[in-house]
Structure 1
């Protein structure tokens, strides 16, 4: 990690304020999610099956995809700072409603609907954070800023999960106990809103004088807004390839996580409390992997480029699943959780920067809405596939074997696709400027990039 870049990012007052908003909010997310997950998956009165696990993940994640298109339209029109202020307030109210339902003994459809709304608003909030980041740091620091903010947010969410886990140990896992934990979470969301008020209202964009003519139709037709974002991605081929890579990774990672939850609940242990303790260790190892991925990604990207790093990570995932997953041993699965956490964060950081660098600011909200939709819909699809293929114990050599093979094929396909795009780009440039020798224009001397440089995608950015 380049400590100079890290220092430059942290010296930015506006970045620190945006960063603090993210950390406070995602700490709250961790407490909220572990409270719900421990109640739904590891309640002593409930027996988890692949179908139940898949249904729960679909309920928790599918609304992210449904809300994504709406979020993109408004993030490109409304003050992003105001979104960061009011979204946590809305979540606090909804979390209090969830707590009230549990305290009243209601954990059916209304309970899940309120939980879905909390997570849907959260996706709106995180999309605004991603779209706002380039407004508080320079392009040359985006890799480091993403590495620090996104990864720290993920790690602090794991910390929040740890806090929620400890609160469950103290208060218990019953309905009234979970309600108390949720009320604490509501207070944390209000704190996140307070932190966001330290940013100026007009500071995070969008540039309305440019965005208004392009988003007016999208406000009347959300589907049209989503199509705008998808079309813009298609015109930016590096972004399209990167999103395809992370979507496939999320699908395979989702299958692995469903298997892990079932293994720790029904195979490695048949006790709900013991299973939760061991699964918590697995999640802690995964969080450590996210941190490791954040530390090494900026350094590795400077050597391999963002595309090269994605290829290496997809190949590594295939090896990890084979070496640490196929034996189906508890200790190896925990180690594998660390390794897959590193892979996941490395892929996400690289894709985030590729998308931010290759899309226009006026489209960022809509593009990140598409990104969020793919990010979560692929996990939901993985849950559906797992429900049909993974046994209640979570142990399946066939399913894991397919995951391994697809990871390996994905690495090869992504490498070939990005190299082909780089070669085409290089040919177009040399075709315009003769043999590709140095061209002098009004802005001085321009050195055309080689195919390999194009493949690396401005690795130092």
Structure 2
């Protein structure tokens, strides 16, 4: 928080909701993220927990690539185009296209298609979703005073995450009512189109140009591609020149790699090994409980990270969080028991969110405004690509039933390596840029 921010009076949720523009933009986000949560859970159920299909670990890796890579590969282009096109129109058109692609994916599921046709349809959905998410974020300064952007973003992000979990829970309920086979999975997935259609209707209620950009121009596709390429290079250079940022990103990459490996193990344990134990559930419902535990970890991190950093400093908090993650995987992950896995999901997600919040703060505090957006674009790419690579490697090595203690040990060891990298890169001479 800057000194200027310290004197700003917080509006609170009620004060923010008093602004009509923020209410409509938030409602658009919630509709879109409810549909996202439902679609992703519906697709996971269709591929991984469908009695009519026998998904191998490779299908898990392909599924995560479909869900995460568009956010990384399209993110920089989405940002560049959203600075040139009317964002209201982008939100409406993207939401309508997304509804169409959701129905296309549902049709592929219902027809029993697998492999490339199914993943290609899902890739269209998640690719278009990137434009919706970026458009909502870029539009926020047009509906909230600049002094309250941090507060408004926190409310919107938290509410959106909770709504996505509600969407996933809706998918679980729909599968119970409609069936777990291809037909029921198709109808469940198709219901996600309702969120996109509602988001389009809400976004259409804004006046033309009300969401910016203020000085949008269309320089053509070639210049846009060139700007994106230069932007990523500029972002990489800024990261290498800034010890606090390069060290934080090294820690974040380490955690995402370990988290991706653990995720594959958890998915296969839930599908092929675990059975219900009292209130604890296996299968898709069990993954819902894992997601709920992870959400609680994110919430706790949001409440305590600022105080931890204030008391200890980022230089201690980040390695401490990675140490907690390593101990969690050794103490709770290795036994491979259902209650322990749920506890591990809570602590691992908590630790990872602490690292992410510290990385966010490092970029915001240490990187100049003129290049900050490009650094965040690079950050987004590293974050998701690392997880996809980790999931792919783990899928090639994991046992069919998920019981792979070697993978859990490897994931645990990645954390101290990340902590060491964080400490070394935090030094002024810890990277190549430090010698310039």
Does residue 382 (structure 1) correspond to residue 390 (structure 2)? The answer is: yes
Counterpart of 1:405 (choices 397, 400, 413) is 413
2:325 maps to what in 1? 317
Counterpart of 2:381 (choices 373, 376, 380) is 373
The question of whether the paired residues in 2 share the 8 Å contact of 1:127 and 1:365 is answered with no
Q: Structure 2-normalised TM-score?
A: 0.82
2:434 maps to what in 1? none
The 1-side partners of 2:337 and 2:37 are apart by 27
Q: Structure 1-normalised TM-score?
A: 0.78
Counterpart of 1:27 (choices 23, 28, 34) is 34
Does residue 254 (structure 1) correspond to residue 260 (structure 2)? The answer is: yes
1:339 maps to what in 2? 347
- Cα deviation for residue 43 of structure 1 reads 1.0
What pairs with 1:142-153 in structure 2 (closer than 5 Å)? Answer: 144-153=151-160
1:223 maps to what in 2? 229
The 2-side partners of 1:308 and 1:136 are apart by 37
The 2-side partners of 1:40 and 1:287 are apart by 23
Could you tell me which runs of 5 or more consecutive residues in structure 1 were left unpaired when the two chains were aligned.
Answer: 423-461
2:399 maps to what in 1? 391
Could you tell me which runs of 5 or more consecutive residues in structure 2 were left unpaired when the two chains were aligned.
Answer: 1-5, 431-436
Cα distance change, pair 293–281 in 1 and its aligned pair in 2 (3 A): same
What pairs with 1:418-429 in structure 2 (closer than 5 Å)? Answer: 418=426, 420=428
The 1-side partners of 2:373 and 2:176 are apart by 40
2:3 maps to what in 1? none
Q: 194-203 or 284-293: which moved more?
A: 194-203
1:11 maps to what in 2? 15
Counterpart of 1:42 (choices 49, 52, 60) is 49
The 1-side partners of 2:338 and 2:413 are apart by 22
Counterpart of 2:289 (choices 270, 277, 281) is 281
Report how many residues are paired.
Answer: 417
- Cα deviation for residue 160 of structure 1 reads 0.8
- Cα deviation for residue 310 of structure 1 reads 3.4
CA RMSD of aligned residues (A): 3.4
The 2-side partners of 1:315 and 1:176 are apart by 45
The question of whether the paired residues in 2 share the 8 Å contact of 1:61 and 1:376 is answered with yes
The question of whether the paired residues in 2 share the 8 Å contact of 1:132 and 1:205 is answered with yes
The question of whether the paired residues in 2 share the 8 Å contact of 1:155 and 1:290 is answered with no
Cα distance change, pair 406–120 in 1 and its aligned pair in 2 (3 A): same
1:243 maps to what in 2? 249
SS of 2:74 mapped into structure 1: helix
The 2-side partners of 1:156 and 1:6 are apart by 24
- Cα deviation for residue 320 of structure 1 reads 1.5
Counterpart of 1:352 (choices 352, 360, 363) is 360
Cα distance change, pair 251–274 in 1 and its aligned pair in 2 (3 A): closer
Does residue 417 (structure 1) correspond to residue 425 (structure 2)? The answer is: yes
The question of whether the paired residues in 2 share the 8 Å contact of 1:150 and 1:349 is answered with no
- Cα deviation for residue 73 of structure 1 reads 2.2
Counterpart of 2:186 (choices 165, 171, 179) is 179
1:189 maps to what in 2? 196
The 1-side partners of 2:370 and 2:208 are apart by 18
- Cα deviation for residue 75 of structure 1 reads 2.8
1:160-208: CA deviation from partner (whole Å, max 9, x where unpaired): 1001111101111222222222332111112122333455554555554
Q: 111-120 or 368-377: which moved more?
A: 368-377
The question of whether the paired residues in 1 share the 8 Å contact of 2:48 and 2:60 is answered with yes
The 2-side partners of 1:356 and 1:77 are apart by 24
